[in-house]
């Protein structure tokens, strides 16, 4: 049925256009509810909605753009540091590079790295104010109660001894495990970690794993060349490198450095009387006594024949003299088995020198050698120079055995 003029068809009955019943607006695609209490959508509200939608869309784009830029910057920073890590061959420099990388990207509160190689456990920390809290975690994670050497990645020239604790659950830990050693990386981030930061940390962990494995392999090859096979001490060739490194360290950080030179008394008589195999046993036993009485951060060198040198970083001359006196006593009171049925008594003479401004390697060794000569000329089985009795009573080494000098932490290299 055709529609009448001025009418529209609803159902089967013609309805006037001006009726109060629900109708179609002139815009045929939008239905308007004219029920009592309803306010029609105005054109201004529509424009406001469109504007808010546009702002939201633009904000999303800007946010993505910002994070995209931040991500590109962080990955560019990562690439620069990774290249540096791959070009380094000493662990101090490798870890310093890794810590600076994470500092630039995450602005961490704490960076720490612990590596266990056999019985040796070393940790690197930045900053040192967290060391006490971290030591508890290290003991638990490595299942050890043994002491370990602590290195500070960036030396604190202020000498600040304050310590700060942190919640263990806040720290991020990553394990590095290979056929050469066991290690852990610890990070306490300051910035909020984004999703891609986990990928960055994983890349650093993998790079550190490769660098650590290469370093340990190189170290083992160097040890084969650097160690005396009889006594398990460093050899004279390695001594030259060690003393130069420690002198440079003492100059740079204004630290103490002492040197002990010792000689087994009447060693030629042992060789002539009992044979060279007996002499070898005496040298090995004497080296074991000395090694058991020094810190892990000290160095024992077989300087030549029956002569040994002990390099003592972070040690005052008075402490070195006290240590030498205790070592002398320990050797004299420890008969050495040269056969299953025969033991011999041996003694040793000691000369002490301490690094002073203007000293070089030759001057330091010369002074220790002169003191050793005085000890042998004075009757052997003694330490030169002697320590005054009043000073000897004042020296105390808390928390250590009766033969160790005062323990001090080490710092990452030069």
- Report the distance separating Cα 12 and Cα 28, nearest Å: 20
Residue with tokens 């250590």, as numbered in its chain:
400
Closest by alpha carbon to 201, among 114, 122, 125, 99? 99
- Report the distance separating Cα 178 and Cα 223, nearest Å: 20
Q: Per the structure block, which two tokens stand in for 353?
A: 């020198």
**Residue ranges of the alpha helices (H) in 235-388?**
236-253, 267-274, 276-291, 317-332, 361-377
**How does 207-232 read in b/e, with b if 16+ C-beta sit within 10 Å?**
bbbebbbebbeebeeeeeebbbeebe
Instruction: Tally the C-alpha atoms within 13 A of residue 170's C-alpha that lie toward its C-beta.
Output: 14
- Report the distance separating Cα 272 and Cα 94, nearest Å: 50
Angle in degrees, CA 194, 200, 205, rounded to 5: 135
Q: Which residues, at least 6 apart from 244, have a Cβ–Cβ distance to it below 8 Å? A: 361
Q: Which residues participate in catalysis according to the annotation?
A: 306
* Maximum separation of any 2 CA atoms in the chain, in Å: 141
Closest by alpha carbon to 134, among 168, 176, 179, 175? 168
């Amino acid at each position: 049925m055709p529609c009448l003029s001025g009418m529209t068809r609803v159902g089967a009955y013609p309805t006037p256009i001006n009726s109060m019943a629900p109708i179609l607006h002139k815009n045929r695609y939008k239905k308007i509810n004219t029920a009592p209490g309803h306010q029609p959508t105005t054109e201004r509200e529509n424009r406001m909605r469109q504007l808010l939608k546009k702002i939201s869309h633009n904000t999303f784009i800007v946010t993505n753009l910002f994070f995209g830029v931040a991500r590109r910057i962080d990955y560019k920073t990562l690439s620069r540091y990774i290249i540096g890590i791959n070009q380094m061959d000493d662990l101090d420099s490798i870890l310093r590079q890794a810590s600076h990388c994470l500092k630039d990207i995450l602005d961490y509160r704490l960076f720490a790295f612990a590596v266990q190689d056999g019985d040796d456990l070393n940790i690197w920390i930045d900053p040192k104010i967290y060391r006490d809290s971290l030591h508890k975690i290290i003991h638990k994670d490595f299942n050890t109660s043994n002491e370990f050497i602590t290195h500070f990645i960036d030396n604190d020239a202020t000498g600040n001894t304050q310590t700060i604790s942190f919640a263990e659950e806040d720290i991020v830990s990553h394990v590095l495990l290979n056929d050469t050693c066991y290690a852990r990386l610890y990070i306490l981030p300051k910035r909020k970690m984004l999703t891609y930061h986990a990928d960055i940390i994983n890349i650093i962990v993998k790079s550190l794993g490769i660098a650590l494995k290469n370093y340990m392999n190189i170290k083992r090859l160097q040890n084969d060349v650097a160690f005396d096979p009889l006594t398990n001490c460093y050899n004279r060739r390695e001594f030259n490198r060690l003393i130069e490194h420690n002198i440079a360290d003492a100059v740079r950080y204004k630290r103490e450095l002492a040197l002990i030179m010792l000689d087994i008394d009447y060693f030629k008589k042992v060789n002539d009387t009992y044979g060279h195999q007996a002499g070898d046993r005496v040298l090995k036993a004497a080296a074991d006594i000395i090694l058991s009485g020094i810190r892990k951060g000290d160095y024992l060198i077989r300087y030549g024949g029956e002569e040994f040198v002990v390099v003592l970083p972070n040690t005052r001359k008075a402490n070195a003299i006290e240590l030498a006196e205790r070592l002398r006593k320990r050797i004299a009171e420890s008969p050495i088995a040269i056969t299953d049925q025969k033991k011999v008594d041996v003694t040793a003479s000691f000369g002490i020198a301490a690094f002073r401004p203007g000293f070089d390697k030759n001057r330091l060794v010369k002074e220790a050698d002169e003191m050793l000569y005085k000890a042998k000329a004075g009757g052997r089985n003694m330490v030169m120079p002697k320590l005054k009795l009043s000073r000897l009573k004042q020296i105390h080494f808390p928390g250590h055995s009766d033969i160790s000098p005062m323990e001090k932490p080490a710092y990452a290299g030069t």
